[in-house]
Structure 1
């Protein structure tokens, strides 16, 4: 196999080797948890040890960080430095390329039908060659826009300022500003944002927070066993809908909006509910409501999407 594709997120990593002109084989994808490894070099060595894969000629890494000139990148939400020379030394590859993980997701939208996804809404008038937007919350938050001609507009949307609207959101934003100096979208829409919303909800209810970590908070909130956690989950889902709506107004992605990320998927029951908090917040744009109701929205369920996008990008 000539090509090693590597999706390095904030929480998990996925690897697959393939021929550049071959379809992606889901059965060959290896998944590893980043927390089980002390460094990027260690997780890369673990992949080769477990898979027994031969040395590739080229490595393409989709990673959760801004991509700038140079041969080294530091992840935004994990203290790992990714170095091309080190990767080449460990893998034996002749060439190593970096691509932002959401830019890779954007390239995956070249053909959305090849990806597993769940439709939430449909457009009144289909526009197959219109821009397509992918966005999502996980360890962090970001988005990317696919454009006809297979171009992708990348950005760092998670680091834009968060616009609070409700009393709860203003209280949450103030707590985040007090702790971090400013309130960005990512501070609200991420696994850490779920935890922050829970602590804020507990404070407003004059209760001591007793749940630990976003997984525990979501489980307790969605099951209905903890009302404070439930309020945090509802607030997160509404914020996700409103930010998705803001991005839709900026880019007018009439080809579709695709929701991605672990934190996004965690709120799936609230997002897909008949009285969806996500959709209500997405549509609530005042005079623009009619426009908002014409965007097709999908949950992107395919965790191989960044690998597929990296493969599409490598073929350009």
Structure 2
């Protein structure tokens, strides 16, 4: 079966033909387009169909992972892109105009949908734990922001995206408390996302730089993408950048533990987002797990949770493919 899938962002949209066979999912005819070059989702998709869709393939459906809110309104699912001046999209309207079953899914919910299709090589296990396949799973990912999504057990794998990134940040020690107070002085409050994001890396680095100036870090903070520049310095072993990485993953571990405690997702905690795969070795350092587990008197419970880091290069596309396939061939109510 062949599906058009897209990961629609405010700047770029990645499209591909998702093909499902006995070997699993594969993606062909990948195309990256500038989202703002098109006045609507329909125009962008028509362009791809005209320029990239193989003439000898039949399209079974369209799955779109959208960077923006997706909700059921008046009996149909609708979506609005957060950073694009596009008209509101609806599944029924797109299906009618494009001639194929269409599924709209929030971009982070799409990562949740991808869990059932991930291969062992698509993840790095940070803590084996005691997996319960019939239990809840939790996905948390840092990139432009901090996304969260609870995922039910397979085969239905219901998705419950949330806004845990916008909850207030709870400091784990005096240093974190001082950092949070500094952020509040600039932003009015300190949420998890203020620190666990690309901008958060920049904030942590700026705060450290104010305490002890470092020339290389100063230059990195002047770059167009400071977080990427800091990451490159850390890969080179630069001391100040390594300290930023250490602080970031320690904060991430502590907040991830806080997010896991309310529901104890024994099906696994999955770290996603654009930052974690690039900073894998920092997440594999002892400080991350130490912070994740440091929740007395609940350390033992957190030690029992499986913890994985997703390294699949395109989990949004994979989740969009899974979502539209389920719409075309739904899992039974009693499954």
Name the TM-score, length of structure 2 as normaliser: 0.79
Can you give the 5+ residue segments of structure 2 that lack an aligned partner in the other structure? 331-335
Q: How far did 1:33 drift? A: 6.9
Answer yes or no: is 1:277 the counterpart of 2:277: no
Aligned partner of 2:314 in structure 1 is 304
Q: How far did 1:260 drift? A: 1.0
8 A contact 1:7–1:307 mirrored in 2: yes
Aligned partner of 1:3 in structure 2 is 3
Q: Aligned partners of 1:277 and 1:49: how far apart in 2?
A: 50
What does residue range 193-232 of structure 1 map to in structure 2 within 5 Å?
A: 193-206=200-213, 209-211=218-220, 212=223, 213=225, 214-225=227-238, 227-232=239-244
Q: Aligned partners of 2:31 and 2:142: how far apart in 1?
A: 19
8 A contact 1:108–1:305 mirrored in 2: yes
CA separation of 1:36/1:80 partners in 2, compared to 1, >3 Å: closer, same or farther? closer
What does residue range 1-316 of structure 1 map to in structure 2 within 5 Å?
A: 3-9=3-9, 13-18=13-18, 25-28=25-28, 30=30, 32=32, 44=45, 47-48=48-49, 51-53=52-54, 58-69=61-72, 71-75=78-82, 78-79=83-84, 81=86, 83-84=88-89, 88=94, 92-113=98-119, 116-123=122-129, 125-148=130-153, 149-206=156-213, 209-211=218-220, 212=223, 213=225, 214-225=227-238, 227-273=239-285, 276-314=286-324, 315=326, 316=330
Q: Aligned partners of 2:112 and 2:106: how far apart in 1?
A: 10
1:169 is paired with a residue whose SS is helix
Moved more, 33-42 or 99-108: 33-42
Q: How far did 1:207 drift? A: 5.2
Q: How far did 1:99 drift? A: 0.9
8 A contact 2:131–2:305 mirrored in 1: no
Q: Aligned partners of 1:232 and 1:199: how far apart in 2?
A: 9
Let me know the Cα RMSD of the aligned residues.
Answer: 3.3
Q: How far did 1:254 drift? A: 0.8
Q: How far did 1:215 drift? A: 0.7
2:308 is paired with a residue whose SS is strand
1:153 is paired with a residue whose SS is strand
1:196 is paired with a residue whose SS is helix
Name the TM-score, length of structure 1 as normaliser: 0.83
CA separation of 1:231/1:23 partners in 2, compared to 1, >3 Å: closer, same or farther? same
Q: Aligned partners of 1:38 and 1:177: how far apart in 2?
A: 38
Q: How far did 1:24 drift? A: 5.7
Q: How far did 1:181 drift? A: 2.3
Q: How far did 1:205 drift? A: 1.2
8 A contact 1:18–1:24 mirrored in 2: no
Q: How far did 1:150 drift? A: 2.0
Q: How far did 1:38 drift? A: 7.8
Q: Aligned partners of 1:48 and 1:171: how far apart in 2?
A: 53
Which is greater in Rg?
A: 2
Q: Aligned partners of 2:39 and 2:179: how far apart in 1?
A: 33
Q: How far did 1:2 drift? A: 6.1
Moved more, 110-119 or 138-147: 110-119
